[in-house]
């Protein structure tokens, strides 16, 4: 009876140890991993030095800067127009400029 209990306990712990890795969710891919997948797909058909050069260029390329939003453009314009103003005068001007309709 004692041996049977020990066997069951050992089996339960062993089963739990093997089930744990499967239960863990796979980690999300990093930006670099996504870039690698994309570059790899784009490099299909290239071989040797041509592929190496392409992959090096593709993986080292910086992502394009996002386009400025209308609010950012407005801020830039108002900031340029406020040149020379200081303190409360500048603050009042910026408030008026930024709240004005386009």
pLDDT at res. 100:
87
pLDDT at res. 46:
93
40 and 29 Cβ atoms separated by less than 8 Å: no
Check whether 8 has a pLDDT greater than 80: no
d(CA 89, CA 102): 22
Residue 59 CA: distances (Å) to CA of 34, 46, 52, 65, 76 = 10, 15, 11, 16, 33
Cα dihedral across residues 42, 48, 54, 59: positive or negative: positive
Q: What is the pTM of this model?
A: 0.38
Looking at residues 18-40, what average pLDDT do you find? 72
More confident residue, 20 or 76: 76
Confidence of residue 53 (pLDDT cuts 50, 70, 90): very high
């Amino acid at each position: 009876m004692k041996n049977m209990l020990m066997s069951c306990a050992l089996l339960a712990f062993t089963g739990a140890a093997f089930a744990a890795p499967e239960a863990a969710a796979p980690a999300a891919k990093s930006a670099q991993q996504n870039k690698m997948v994309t570059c790899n797909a784009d490099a299909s058909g290239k071989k040797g030095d041509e592929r190496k050069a392409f992959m090096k260029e593709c993986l080292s390329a910086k992502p394009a800067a996002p386009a400025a939003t209308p609010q950012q453009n407005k801020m830039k314009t108002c900031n340029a127009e406020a040149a020379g103003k200081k303190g409360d005068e500048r603050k009042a001007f910026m408030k008026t400029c930024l709240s004005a309709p386009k």
